[in-house]
């Protein structure tokens, strides 16, 4: 199975990314996590992205707040899918969200919600599951479990309303 890279612009993003790490572990996806900055370590970030595919990665998750250029900077240097997590740090995270979603043509970045660490890991799993049937089954099981829980909650509501 290909690895996922989780790149954060600052170690202050770590509390949000703990959810990403947990979800990747739950799916059995190997990953590496690093602190890199689009502005303070641009060469290091570019080198990582340029070599990510040959180093066994299949997807990159990039989390940053404020200007949040990290996901776009990484995407500019790789053909791998990049998922951006805008981190709520200023302006309620809307500045980071816009920095992630407003990419120029030819440099796409997938975006999840502000602080959307769980969905970033799930989207990474869906990308990797295209070529991994075992991972695809784990995703199917997760969705079946979600459906079961919603049906149970509806049944409880119906009983309460009687």
Q: What pLDDT is attached to residue 90?
A: 86
Q: What pLDDT is attached to residue 125?
A: 98
Which option is the CATH number for 3-131: 3.40.50.970, 3.30.70.260, 3.40.50.1970, 3.40.640.10?
3.40.50.1970
Q: What pLDDT is attached to residue 68?
A: 87
Beta bridge partners of 3: 57
Tell me which residue has tokens 């980071």: 96
pLDDT digits (tens, 9 = 90+) for 5-47: 999 999 999 999 999 999 999 999 999 999 999 999 999 999 9
State the pTM of this model.
Answer: 0.95
Burial of 97 (0-12, 13-18, 19+ CB in 10 A): buried
CA atoms within 13 A on the CB side of 120: 34
Tell me which residue has tokens 């991972």: 135
């Amino acid at each position: 199975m290909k690895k996922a890279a989780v790149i954060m612009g600052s170690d202050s993003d770590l509390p949000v990314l703990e959810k990403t790490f947990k979800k990747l572990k739950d799916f059995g996806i190997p990953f590496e996590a690093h602190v890199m900055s689009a502005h303070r370590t641009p060469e290091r970030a570019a080198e990582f992205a340029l070599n990510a595919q040959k180093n066994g990665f299949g997807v990159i998750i990039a989390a940053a707040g404020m200007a949040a250029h990290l996901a776009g900077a990484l995407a500019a240097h790789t053909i791998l899918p990049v998922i951006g997590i805008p981190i709520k740090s200023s302006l309620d995270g809307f500045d980071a969200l816009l920095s992630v979603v407003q990419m120029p043509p030819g440099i796409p970045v997938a975006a999840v919600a502000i602080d959307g660490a769980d969905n970033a890991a799930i989207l990474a799993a869906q990308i990797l599951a295209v070529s991994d049937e075992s991972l695809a089954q784990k995703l199917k099981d997760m969705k079946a479990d979600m459906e079961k829980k919603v049906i149970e909650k509806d049944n409880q509501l119906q009983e309460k309303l009687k």
